[in-house]
Amino acid sequence: MVMTKRKKIAMKGKFTDEYMVGYEPDWKGADQWSGEEYYRERSRTPYYYSYFYNYKDFITWVVDWMKANDYSKEDIASYKSAPDWRTRSTLAGYVRALTNGMPENHEGVSEYMISMPGLSSDSMKNATDSVKTELESIIEHGKKIKEEKKVEDTIKVTKYKPTIQQLLFAKSLEMSDDIEEFIDGYDGSKEMLSSFDPQTMLLIVGAKPNHAKIIASIYKPMFDDFSELVNPPSAKEMKAMDETQQDMHTQLKEGYTHLSKVDIKNQYNMYKTIMDACDNIVLKGKVTRKPRKKKVISAENQVSKFKYLDHHPETKSISVPPADLIGANVAVVYNSKTRKLGIYYASNIDPKGLKRDGSGFSVKGTTITGFDPLTSVQKTLRKPLAQLAMFKKITKRALSKEFEAINSVEIKLNGRFNDHSLIIKVF
């Protein structure tokens, strides 16, 4: 199908990136376009506006469109009450395009979509219907927030004072500045992504588990979008969805048609790296919350000369405090130099957790004692980054099975630790 050539609009200098991204969609003469041209121009619309504009612009466009389409004052107020991030670029882009004269649909779109392998649908929903469907969801969410705010207002003190949660959120945003700077400058390449280490960025600024949870929630919507693009629902799953869910998935795919599969995969990996970094910091907070107490010699004193590796950027791993080894029955360790993963099993376990003398592991200098030399073994990992991520979250019940599945030779452990030794998990 031959696409109609349209006259390019001269750039006025507002956005220099338009040389690469393309100009703002122009809908003059759209009724004369082919179905392919309409499909491609409509599909790139959300991306264009997400690239050059922000949530403040999106909300202004949507409110103006709602007023022009006879939405009630109550519905508009409810929409404004919803969080800004609920207004996605697809909704805002369609509203902007409709305002600028974009036709609801094109009769040639279905024919073009049928000719394109891999598309989940053979038709494109009317733009106004898509806008109204998504607006309904946002308005309902906003109504709930308004009701909650009414309750809060009844008990609000005269003098405003930020809550602990608000202060924590503001501090978390500040801590994520370096991460946000990387995202803004990311060129989509695998090479640039290889140098991205959000875990170290957050550790340097002193991020704690509560900060990490908030930062993860900020980037989760984008992570979910790219996760859905990388792992799209099957035909069976699509059939089980309601019309709104199907439409949202279709809009999501259309909004990123300008990106190749490689670009989408790299964007997914970028946001996954952020989420994993936050999970690691939360996990470290859990294992350091309550150090073990010993009757005679404290755990901290026992490990005062103990050598270990606190964190390992290459595998995105943070070590469990060595004090947690004292009295434990099982310990998963990793040597970053030899790439060997080992499991120590205590020779004298304490199943009821009575902390009796001689039960579980002890530490002497830089050596762990009290382990079974016959069952305590190690194996070489072929893919440390992926394999360690699994062992960090593993349960005690699944530990033995997953370790046996590692295809490499078993070697006996000797109990000695050094500056390359990570303590991955203890039970």
Query: How is residue 416 written in tokens?
Result: 């000695």
122 found inside a domain: yes
**Same domain? 211 vs 144:** no
416 found inside a domain: yes
**Same domain? 171 vs 152:** no
pLDDT given for residue 8 in this prediction: 41
Q: What's the pLDDT tens digit per position in 324-344?
A: 998 899 999 999 999 999 999
**Amino acid at residue number 340:** K
pLDDT given for residue 68 in this prediction: 93
Read off the pLDDT band of 159 (50, 70, 90).
low
pLDDT given for residue 3 in this prediction: 44
pLDDT above 80 (res 278): yes
pLDDT above 60 (res 23): yes
Contact 272, 386 (CB under 8 A): no
Chain centroid, CA 35 distance in Å: 36
294 found inside a domain: no
Mean pLDDT of the chain: 86
228 found inside a domain: yes
Higher-confidence position of 1 and 288: 288
Structural domain span for residue 398: 299-426
pLDDT given for residue 354 in this prediction: 57
The span from the CA of 104 to the CA of 81, in Å, is 28
Read off the pLDDT band of 345 (50, 70, 90).
very high
**Same domain? 49 vs 176:** no
pLDDT given for residue 133 in this prediction: 92
Report which DSSP code applies to 273.
H
**Same domain? 204 vs 273:** yes
Instruction: Give residues with Cβ within 8 angstroms of 417, minimum separation 6.
Output: 306, 307, 308, 333, 366, 367, 368
Q: In 1-34, which ranges are continuous DSSP H helix?
A: 18-21
**Same domain? 192 vs 128:** no
Query: How is residue 308 written in tokens?
Result: 């270990």
Phi, psi of 54 (to 5 degrees): -125, -175
Of the listed ranges 49-63, 275-289, 370-384, 390-404, the least confidently predicted one is 275-289
pLDDT given for residue 119 in this prediction: 61
Q: What's the pLDDT tens digit per position in 200-210?
A: 999 999 999 99
Q: What's the pLDDT tens digit per position in 359-369?
A: 788 899 999 99
What percentage of the chain reaches a pLDDT higher than 70? 88
Element (H, E) at 172: helix 164-175
pLDDT given for residue 150 in this prediction: 81
The span from the CA of 65 to the CA of 71, in Å, is 9
pLDDT given for residue 187 in this prediction: 87
110 found inside a domain: yes
Last residue of a domain, one of 108, 140, 156: 156
pLDDT above 60 (res 353): no
Instruction: Give residues with Cβ within 8 angstroms of 256, minimum separation 6.
Output: 47, 229, 264
Read off the pLDDT band of 2 (50, 70, 90).
very low
Last residue of a domain, one of 256, 289, 322: 289
Number of domains present in the structure of the chain: 3
Q: Which residues pair with 377 in a beta bridge?
A: 343, 412
Q: What's the pLDDT tens digit per position in 194-233?
A: 999 999 999 999 999 999 999 999 999 999 999 999 888 8
Read off the pLDDT band of 155 (50, 70, 90).
low
Query: How is residue 219 written in tokens?
Result: 């980037």
Query: How is residue 85 written in tokens?
Result: 């991030």
**Same domain? 306 vs 389:** yes
pLDDT given for residue 108 in this prediction: 84
80 found inside a domain: yes
pLDDT above 70 (res 317): yes
The span from the CA of 24 to the CA of 1, in Å, is 24
**Same domain? 6 vs 135:** yes
Of the listed ranges 82-91, 92-101, 260-269, 290-299, the least confidently predicted one is 290-299
**Same domain? 13 vs 142:** yes
**Same domain? 9 vs 150:** yes
Burial class (CB in 10 A: 0-12, 13-18, 19+), 12: exposed
Average pLDDT over residues 59-84: 93
Last residue of a domain, one of 105, 129, 156: 156
pLDDT given for residue 11 in this prediction: 41
**Whole-prediction pTM:** 0.36
**Same domain? 266 vs 333:** no
Of the listed ranges 52-61, 109-118, 405-414, the least confidently predicted one is 109-118
The span from the CA of 68 to the CA of 47, in Å, is 24
**Same domain? 333 vs 374:** yes
3-state helix, strand, coil in the chain (%, to 5): 55, 10, 40
Long-range CB contacts (within 8 A, 24+) of 286-293: 286/209, 287/320, 287/321, 287/324, 287/426, 288/321, 291/321, 291/323, 291/324, 292/323, 292/324, 292/326, 292/327
pLDDT given for residue 7 in this prediction: 41
**Same domain? 392 vs 412:** yes
